[in-house]
């Protein structure tokens, strides 16, 4: 009688299939992207000049994207009306796109910095544009837009679980969308 990997996998599979993983996973992209946005907003020159600062922000926005994919994939229809679920899902998708754009931009610049001799058609042009975005006001505008979308998504998600009176921000969202 030894260790049975299949038995352990079957137990794990039963547990996972009977769990709603969305509430567990959804808080990771929220926390990571909130921290990333704060790091983009911080304009202390001493910090921004550090060589590692780029990699910290890149790692955060990319990791947030990975957790977003997992959270989005596990988002089931629990609570709230159909209209609220649809709006929540739409804002979640928009949030993922906005932060996903920043993740791709950081990834491209990272590739250019670490592997400058790597040749893929159009990569040098795309990486140059990505660097231009990171050196423009869009570096701040895009994450702030993403954070606004993230906040609305989170407010709607929270209202689906705890009701529309959970906090004043959620009540504002309900008034804006006439829910």
- For residue 6, the model assigns a pLDDT of 67
**Domain map of the chain by residue range?**
21-176
Identify the pLDDT of residue 16: 61
User: pTM to 2 decimals?
Assistant: 0.84
pLDDT, averaged per 10 consecutive residues of the chain (179 residues), comes to 62 64 87 95 81 93 95 77 88 96 94 80 85 92 96 91 86 87
Tell me what pLDDT residue 147 has.
Answer: 97
Residue 124 pLDDT = 81
Q: Residue 168 has what DSSP assignment?
A: H
| DSSP alpha helix (H) spans, the chain | 5-17, 22-25, 27-41, 45-48, 51-73, 82-114, 123-134, 138-162, 168-176
Return d(Cα 25, Cα 27) in angstroms, integer: 6
Q: How many CA atoms lie within 13 A of 48 on its CB side?
A: 10
């Amino acid at each position: 009688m030894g260790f049975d990997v299949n038995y352990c996998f079957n137990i794990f599979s039963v547990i996972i299939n009977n769990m709603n993983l969305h509430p567990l996973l959804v808080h990771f992209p929220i926390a990571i992207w909130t921290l990333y946005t704060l790091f983009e907003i911080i304009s202390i020159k001493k910090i921004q000049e550090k060589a590692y600062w780029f990699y910290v922000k890149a790692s955060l926005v990319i990791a947030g994207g990975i957790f977003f994919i997992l959270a989005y994939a596990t988002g089931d229809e629990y609570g709230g009306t159909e209209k609220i679920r649809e709006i929540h899902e739409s804002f979640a998708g928009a949030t993922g796109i906005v932060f996903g754009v920043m993740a791709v931009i950081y990834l491209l610049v990272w590739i250019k910095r670490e592997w400058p001799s790597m040749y893929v058609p159009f990569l040098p042009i795309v990486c140059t544009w990505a660097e231009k975005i990171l050196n423009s006001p869009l570096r701040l505008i895009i994450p702030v837009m993403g954070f606004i979308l993230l906040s609305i998504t989170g407010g709607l998600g929270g209202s689906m679980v705890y009701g529309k009176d959970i906090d004043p921000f959620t009540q504002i969202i309900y008034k804006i969308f006439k829910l």
